[in-house]
């Protein structure tokens, strides 16, 4: 707590030296009662504004931070993904259901993906977290697809994205005519070979197609 702001400034400075290095930081894994009220003011904000984090782990106390709506709008604009840890936040922090900011992040357009935190400690896997999200927040299949796509879109895999839009409505120009195709065209294939991220995203879409064909 005492040195957090200094740590974020240090990370921010290092980012100027190594601008190509991607940064993911745990921030906001706090709840009222664990720290003094002033301790909830700005951990996520400092991680975003000072350290320039690309991803935030937890972010559970965002609604207690200074100007939370402004902060979430900024995170949405900067496409800072939040790794949501539903079981971990419940067990460790006592934050769950309507008291968890998962729905707020989604409402404000902040990209989110589900995460297990420490599987060994929580005795869970990622499937468990998806089931919990569905049962708690009534997510649709389309919602789940969006979350899964986020997990690759905002990963640190090298290369360009398969997608040309953040809502996953349009493929990159090299593959725009290949939507739903089992095999990519020569142009798209060359694009996929030059991007590890896009190649993994193409494989994910193929798996979606196979799964959906069974219904």
The set of catalytic residues is: 29
Tokens of 18: 């190594």
DSSP 47-93: HHHTS--SEEEE-TTGGGSSSHHHHHHHHHHHT-EEEE-HHHIIIII
């Amino acid at each position: 707590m005492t040195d957090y702001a200094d740590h974020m400034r240090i990370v921010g400075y290092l980012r100027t030296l190594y601008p190509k290095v991607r940064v993911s930081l745990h921030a906001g894994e706090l709840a009222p009662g664990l720290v003094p009220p002033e301790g909830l003011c700005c951990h996520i904000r400092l991680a975003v504004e000072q350290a320039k984090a690309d991803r935030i782990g937890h972010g559970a106390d965002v609604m207690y931070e200074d100007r939370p709506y402004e902060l979430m709008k900024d995170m949405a604009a900067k496409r800072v993904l939040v790794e949501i840890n539903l079981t971990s936040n419940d067990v460790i922090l006592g934050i769950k259901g309507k008291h968890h900011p998962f729905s707020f992040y989604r409402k404000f357009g902040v990209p989110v993906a589900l995460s297990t935190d420490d599987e060994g400690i929580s005795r869970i896997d990622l499937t468990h977290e998806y089931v919990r999200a569905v049962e708690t927040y009534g997510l649709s299949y389309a919602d789940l697809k969006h979350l899964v796509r986020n997990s690759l879109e905002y990963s640190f895999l090298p290369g360009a994205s398969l997608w040309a839009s953040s809502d996953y409505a349009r493929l990159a120009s090299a593959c725009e005519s290949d939507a739903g195709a089992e095999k990519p065209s020569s142009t798209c294939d060359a694009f996929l070979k030059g991007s590890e991220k896009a190649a993994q995203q193409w494989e994910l879409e193929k798996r979606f197609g196979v799964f959906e064909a069974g219904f």
